[in-house]
Amino acid sequence: MKYVSEFRDKKFIAPLVDELRRTIDRPLRIMEVCGTHTMAVFRHGLRSLMPEGLELISGPGCPVCVTSSAHIDGFIDVAGRDGVRVAIFGDLYRVPGSHGSLARAQSMGAQVEVVYSPMDALTLAGRYPQQVTVFLSVGFETTIPLVAATILEAERLQVDNFAVFPAHKIMPPALTALLGDPELRLDGLLCPGHVSTIIGAAAYEPLAASYSLSCVVAGFEPVDILQALIMLARQAREGRAEVENAYGRAVSWQGNLRAQKLMNDVFEPVDCQWRGLGTIPASGMAIRDHFSCFDAEKRFGINLAETPEPQGCLCGQILQGRKTPADCPLFAGRCTPLNPVGPCMVSSEGTCAAHYRFGRG
């Protein structure tokens, strides 16, 4: 596949690994912000190739993992309402709230449809005019503009049986909240490639400046990840703390301005609860008043109650990079992909799921 296969070419990988090994001159702690990076590292077996001294910590960039239990419960509540059909990304299907998942709700009669695109949810609304189709929306800045475009299309088509229940989150405020923790000693951030396609590499400059942190924007193929790690290692070696872009073919300095505008036209920042991280100011994206007819929370009168985390579950600390799955007493015992306790195990890119699927044995 063009522009994918070349960046997986084995003939590039061994020399890049060697270069990485030569460049690392002391132990380095790098946070992979994005869950897709965690999955890519495991999927391509890169962990087994990493040189000594490089510690890769998984961060909170797994939108499903950081969706609060209250939001999942809210999703299940809407799914159970009469005359409602919910549409979701596959990632959300098995995530547990405080009493079950959407998979379980479906088995009890809720109409849950997995879609590939938010626009497909709008198409569903057209196909089932007697029902309200609600798109249960999770995602970061890669996905939020898509939902914005879908709402605008719904408005243009004057669709009255479509709504969105957003649990959107944006990255920079969460990173700021994480980096404020003095215990989290990091040498660098592997920044999320496709979020950066939207928000631009410049978005990380305040972080680099305030926290003296090296930030490199990385793509998701093995070559992309290795190139970015080499750049982070070089910055550490040379005592630099800058933003660099290792994914130039997909990321520009200012990002996709059109997508940013769409996102901000339809959504506005609100304080938001992140599972395991608590409430972070201006870190969620809610539907603006102008589009409130598409706001599922208003339409169905949903009040998000707060629920405590399950006992023993360390998802919160794992998301903050303070603990690893192996540290969690529930990992691979009480908590497995089949019977997950917390979302880190269920989400396809959750840290615990990745470790369970790829790293055990």
Partner 1 sequence: MKTTETILLDHGSGGRASQELIKNIFLPYLANPVLACLEDSALVDTGAGLLAFTTDSYVVDPIFFPGGDIGELAINGTINDLAMRGAKPLCLSLALILEEGFPLEDLKRVILSIQGACRKADVPVVTGDTKVVPKGKGDKIFINTSGIGLVDSGIHISARNARPGDAVILSGSMGDHGITILAQRAGISLQGNLRSDTMALHRLVQKMLAAAPGAVHTLRDPTRGGVATSLNEIADAAQVAVELDESEIPVKPGVAAACEILGMDPLYLANEGKCLALVAKEHAGRVLDLIRSLPEGADAAVIGRVSEGPAGRVLLKTAAGGSRIVQSLTGEPLPRIC
Partner 2 sequence: MCLAVPMRVIAVKGVEKDFTIPQIGVVEAQGIEKEVRLDLVDRWPEIGDYLIIHAGFAIYTLDAVEAEINLRLLREMVDAVRAGSGGEKQ
Q: Which is nearer to partner 2, 58 or 302 (CB)?
A: 58
8 Å CB contact between 169 and 177: no
Q: Of 105-113, 126-134, 192-200, 352-360, which segment contacts partner 2 by CB under 8 A?
A: 192-200
Binding residue (CB under 8 A) for partner 1 from 15, 27, 83, 90: 90
Q: What angle do CA 256, 259, 262 make, to 5 degrees?
A: 150
257 near partner 2 (CB under 8 A): yes
Binding residue (CB under 8 A) for partner 1 from 3, 6, 83, 107: 107
Q: Which is nearer to partner 2, 85 or 194 (CB)?
A: 194
Q: Which is nearer to partner 1, 14 or 157 (CB)?
A: 14
User: Measured between alpha carbons, how far is 171 from 203 in angstroms, rounded to an integer?
Assistant: 10
User: Least separation, in Å, of the C-beta of 353 and partner 1?
Assistant: 9
For residues 80, 83, 89, 92, the Cα torsion angle rounded to the nearest 10 degrees is 0
Q: Of 8-16, 179-187, 268-276, 285-293, which segment contacts partner 2 by CB under 8 A?
A: 8-16
User: Measured between alpha carbons, how far is 192 from 244 in angstroms, rounded to an integer?
Assistant: 12
Q: What is the DSSP letter of 356?
A: I
User: Least separation, in Å, of the C-beta of 115 and partner 1?
Assistant: 4
Backbone angles phi, psi at 54, to 5 degrees: -105, 120
Q: Which is nearer to partner 1, 212 or 339 (CB)?
A: 339
Site for partner 1 in 128-187 (CB under 8 A): 139, 143
8 Å CB contact between 134 and 82: no
The residue with tokens 């059909």 is: 85
195 near partner 2 (CB under 8 A): yes
Binding residue (CB under 8 A) for partner 1 from 8, 29, 81, 288: 8
Residue 350 backbone zone (phi > 0: left; psi -120 to 50: alpha; other: beta):
beta
User: Measured between alpha carbons, how far is 111 from 191 in angstroms, rounded to an integer?
Assistant: 37
User: Measured between alpha carbons, how far is 279 from 240 in angstroms, rounded to an integer?
Assistant: 32
113 near partner 1 (CB under 8 A): yes
User: Least separation, in Å, of the C-beta of 95 and partner 1?
Assistant: 12
User: Measured between alpha carbons, how far is 320 from 41 in angstroms, rounded to an integer?
Assistant: 19
Q: Which one, of 199, 291, 234, lies nearest residue 19 by Cα?
A: 234
Site for partner 1 in 301-360 (CB under 8 A): 334, 337-339, 341, 347-349, 356-360
Q: What is the DSSP letter of 90?
A: G
User: Measured between alpha carbons, how far is 55 from 53 in angstroms, rounded to an integer?
Assistant: 6
User: Measured between alpha carbons, how far is 341 from 334 in angstroms, rounded to an integer?
Assistant: 8
Residues in touch with partner 2 (CB under 8 A): 1-4, 6, 9, 11-12, 15-16, 18-19, 22-23, 34-36, 61-63, 89, 116-120, 139-140, 142-143, 145-146, 148-149, 152-153, 156, 192-195, 197-198, 220, 223, 227, 248-250, 252, 256-259, 262, 349
Residues in touch with partner 1 (CB under 8 A): 1, 4, 8, 10, 13-14, 35-36, 39, 42-49, 62-64, 87, 89-91, 93-94, 103-104, 106-108, 113-117, 120, 123-124, 127, 139, 143, 222, 334, 337-339, 341, 347-349, 356-361
